[in-house]
Copies of this chain bind each other. A is one copy, B any other.
Amino acid sequence: MSSPGNGRRRRTRVTLRQVAEEVGTSQSTASRALAGHGYVAEDLKARVLEAAARLGYVPDISARTLKGQASGLIGLLVSDLRNQFYAQLAAGVEQTVAAAGHQVVLVDDHGESEHAARAARAFLAMRADGVLLAPTGREATELLVEHGTPVVEVDRRSGARSCDAVTIDSEAGARAAVEHLLQLGHRRIAVVVDETMWDTGKNRLKGYRAAHREAGVPLSRRLVLNLGLRPDDPQRDVAAFLDANPDVTAVFAANNVMAEAVWQEFKRRGAEVPGRYSMVSFDDLTWMRVVEPGLTAVRQPVYEMGSRAAELLLERIAGGTERTATRTLDPTLVLRGSTARP
C-alpha cells in the first residue's frame, strides 16, 4: 500500500502542495491533473496521479467546501432509528445518496422538535448540500429553507412554507384497511393511534372515518383510542380499552408500534385472532408476516420512499426543477390471516 516505513500516525496529512512538489510542478497544475479538467500534458498528469497515490494523498473536503464547492453531505433527520420504519427509510436514503457520491449525516431527534432545530443548525454549519426531514415541527424546515438549503420532507409534512415532500397516502391506506374490515361485516372497529398532531396520524384517522361514512356505518368517539405521544405502556392502555369496550370485533392499529402493543395484548389475554378479534396494521414489518396468523397490513414502500426522496433532493441540489414538487406513494393492503368475518 502507501509509503512503507512511515511509523504509525502520519504527523500531518499530505497536501496538494506536497504532491506538486514531489513531481516538481505547481499546485494549480496538480489541481487540474487531479480534477481532470483544464489543460495538463498527459505525461505530467500521469506523474501527478502516480505521486498522489504513492503519497496517499486525500483531498481535504473542508478546504474544498470553504472555497465554495459542495460539501457532499446530505443531512437526514429521523424520529426514532430503533423503529424499523425509520431504519428502512434511512437505508433507502443512504443507498441513493451514496450512489450519487454523497454521504449521509444521520440525526435522530427522538421526536423532539427542539432537538430537530439543533440538528438543522448543525446541518447548516456543516454546509450540507441538502437535507431530508421527517419533520417534528416546522422550525427545522423553516430555518433550513430560509438559509437556502434544499429540503425535502419525508413521510410527514410540517406545513412549513414551500419545500418538496415525499409521503405515503395515509388516508387511502387507512381507508382500504377499514373498508376491508367493514366488508367482512365488522361494525365496531376500534382504531388505535399515538399521535394525531402530524398528518400521518391525522390522515389515518381521516381514512378510518371516510371508510365508515362511505359504508354508511355510524362513527363512535368511543372506538378511537388515542394514546398520545410516546405512551408509557401502550399495551396496558390497550388492555384497559378492550375491557371497557367488549363489543369491539376488530382493531385497526395506526402504526407498527401500536400494532405490536395490540398483538401482544391479544396474545396475553389469549384472545383468538381472527376468531375473537380481526386486526389490521398500518405498516408491514417482518414480524407481521412471520407470526401465525400473519397480520393483514397496509404495506408502505418505506425504502422506496427514502430513495425517492433522496432522488428528489439530489435533483433539487443540481438545480433542476423550479417549482416545488410533492410526490405521494401508494400503500397496498396485504391480506393475511388476521382478518375474517366477525
Interface residues of A (CB under 8 A from B): 1-2, 6, 8-11, 13, 56, 58-63, 65-66, 71-73, 76, 81-82, 84, 87-88, 90-91, 94-95, 98, 103-108, 121-122, 124-127, 142-143, 145-148, 260, 263-264, 267, 285-287, 290-292, 303
Contact = CB atoms under 8 A, between A and B. Distances in A.
A324 B146 CA distance: 46
B108 A81 contact: no
Most buried by B among A2, A58, A94, A121: A58
Contacts of A84: 84, 87, 286
29 contacts: A9-B148, A10-B148, A13-B147, A58-B121, A58-B125, A61-B62, A61-B127, A62-B62, A62-B63, A62-B66, A62-B126, A66-B66, A73-B105, A81-B91, A82-B88, A84-B84, A87-B91, A90-B106, A94-B108, A95-B108, A103-B105, A103-B106, A103-B107, A104-B105, A104-B107, A286-B286, A286-B287, A290-B290, A290-B291
A63 to B, nearest CB: 5
Nearest to A147: B10
Given A107-B104, A147-B58, A148-B9, A260 B127 contact: no
Given A62-B126, A103-B105, A290 B303 contact: no
A56 B147 contact: yes
Nearest to A67: B62
A108 B82 contact: no
Given A62-B71, A287-B287, 20 more contacts: A60-B125, A61-B62, A62-B65, A62-B127, A73-B105, A73-B126, A81-B87, A82-B87, A84-B84, A87-B91, A90-B90, A91-B108, A98-B107, A98-B108, A103-B126, A104-B106, A285-B286, A287-B291, A291-B291, A291-B292
